[in-house]
Structure 1
Amino acid sequence: MADQSFSLTRPALPASTRRGHLSVIVTYLEMAAPPAHEPLRRPPGNLELVRANPPTWSFYRYLYDTVGEPWLWHERRRMPRKELERSILDPLVEVWVLHVDGTPAGFAELDRRMADTDLSYFGLIPDFIGHKLGPWLLDSAIRKAWEGGAKRLTVNTCTFDHPKALPLYQSMGFTPVRHVVREVRDPRIDGVLPRSAGTHIPIVG
């Protein structure tokens, strides 16, 4: 339940206190009821939203790595293959892949293993950013979550992500419930990500 005194405004990002680490603010959001607005108009073109049921490890890693590299997604690059496979092969985890003219363009991952359904990952492959596909993909994923029996829908985003991510989630009906400040080891320093990743975030150390 959201704290009524909670500020919807994300606080200022503090400087990291440890060499080789990055400060990040993670904002957690929730949606307590299905969206009241009509479904967003489908963008023009040959679009399909298909569940990878189940995805192979290599295809999932292609999606995760390609979508996430600009935003420093690193957790599942570090995850052992067997552990990742246990997650993505679970029937309560849904990986919905957006295809444009037959080419993967992005994905949304719904995790129904807990009491709340979590939109664990969502994003577009860089080639498809700027084509007005993101809002429709997000709206479609939200509706699939509720159609599949969600009681509450959660998501989180952070200051590594696209600056439009947080306002997009809010425009779709998510409400921020808390902000958490963390320090993480820069994955580019360890070689988990290439040094060319996340060009909007300077490498320190």
Structure 2
Amino acid sequence: MASRPFSLTPSALPVAVGPGRLSVIVTYLEMTAPPQDDPVPRPPGDLLLMRALDPTASFYRYLYSTVGEPWLWHERRRMSDQQLAAIVGDHRVEVHVLYAHGTPAGYAEIDRRKRDSVDLAYFGLIPDFIGQKLGPWLLDQSIRMAWTGGTRRLTVNTCTFDHPRALPLYQSLGFTPIRSVVREIDDPRVKGPLPRTAGPHIPIIE
């Protein structure tokens, strides 16, 4: 779907725009130097951040679906297991999983497939763990891992489907917005891969 430049704030745009259609503002951000500030303090509790080496498609789907369903993440749900395995099984794609007391709490996906930049492709917490101050620490750790190995640029994007604190959090940890675009998409809950209960904060229009 074609996109166009947009300069208003995310709150200026309604989400539901017609039968089976949604409008979303996507904001692209970048960081051109590693963070110079001290790391975000580690939250209390039994936490472990571990890379999933050669993650199975089923495990990745669990992470992606559980983290992303409230925010209508749908692109990876449309992929076959073979398509998904080709991405997450690539040694240049890193899936780092946060465990809290032995339970998966969130993950970050770092994509190193481009020559001169690294992309923080996905980042988020499982809903049960939102509000426990894990997000800033996980993001800060992900940023620092992304800068290891040498790169000139770290990128990420967020949109108005994401948690409302996502964009301010990225900016607070050093990302700078470079552009925003508006896209209209088919609602993935209407004849799509998501259940109708997904994204309860976003109305369905039929």
Give the TM-score taking structure 2 as reference length: 0.92
- Give the superposed CA RMSD: 1.6
Aligned to 2:29: 29
Q: Secondary structure at the match of 1:28?
A: strand
Q: Partner letter of residue 106 of structure 1?
A: G
Q: Is the 8 A contact 1:94 1:110 kept in 2?
A: yes
Aligned to 1:187: 188
In the TM superposition, 1:148-187 aligns within 5 A as 148-187=149-188
Q: How many residues align?
A: 200
Q: Is the 8 A contact 2:29 2:178 kept in 1?
A: yes
Moved over 3 A (4+): 6-11, 14-18
Deviation of 1:19 after TM superposition, in Å, equals 2.3
Deviation of 1:16 after TM superposition, in Å, equals 5.6
Cα 1:45–1:193 change in 2 (3 A) is: same
Q: Secondary structure at the match of 1:161?
A: coil
Aligned to 2:68: 68
Aligned to 2:57: 57
Mark the runs of 5 or more structure 1 residues left unpaired by the alignment: 1-5
Cα 1:86–1:143 change in 2 (3 A) is: same
Cα 1:151–1:8 change in 2 (3 A) is: farther
**Partners in 1 of 2:191 and 2:142 — Cα distance?**
33
**Partners in 2 of 1:52 and 1:96 — Cα distance?**
6
Q: Is the 8 A contact 1:10 1:27 kept in 2?
A: no
Q: Secondary structure at the match of 2:122?
A: strand
Cα 1:21–1:102 change in 2 (3 A) is: same
Give the TM-score taking structure 1 as reference length: 0.93
Aligned to 2:140: 139
**Partners in 1 of 2:91 and 2:66 — Cα distance?**
24
Q: Deviations over 1:4-27 (max 9, x none)?
A: xx9695472156655211000000
Q: Is the 8 A contact 1:8 1:176 kept in 2?
A: no
Q: Partner letter of residue 73 of structure 1?
A: W
Deviation of 1:36 after TM superposition, in Å, equals 1.5
Q: Secondary structure at the match of 1:180?
A: strand
The reply on whether 1:20 has 2:46 as its aligned counterpart is no
**Partners in 2 of 1:126 and 1:40 — Cα distance?**
21
Q: Which moved more, 1:173-182 or 1:189-198?
A: 189-198
Q: Is the 8 A contact 1:30 1:154 kept in 2?
A: yes
Q: Is the 8 A contact 1:20 1:204 kept in 2?
A: yes
**Partners in 1 of 2:15 and 2:138 — Cα distance?**
34
Mark the runs of 5 or more structure 2 residues left unpaired by the alignment: 1-5
**Partners in 2 of 1:27 and 1:76 — Cα distance?**
19
**Partners in 1 of 2:40 and 2:64 — Cα distance?**
25
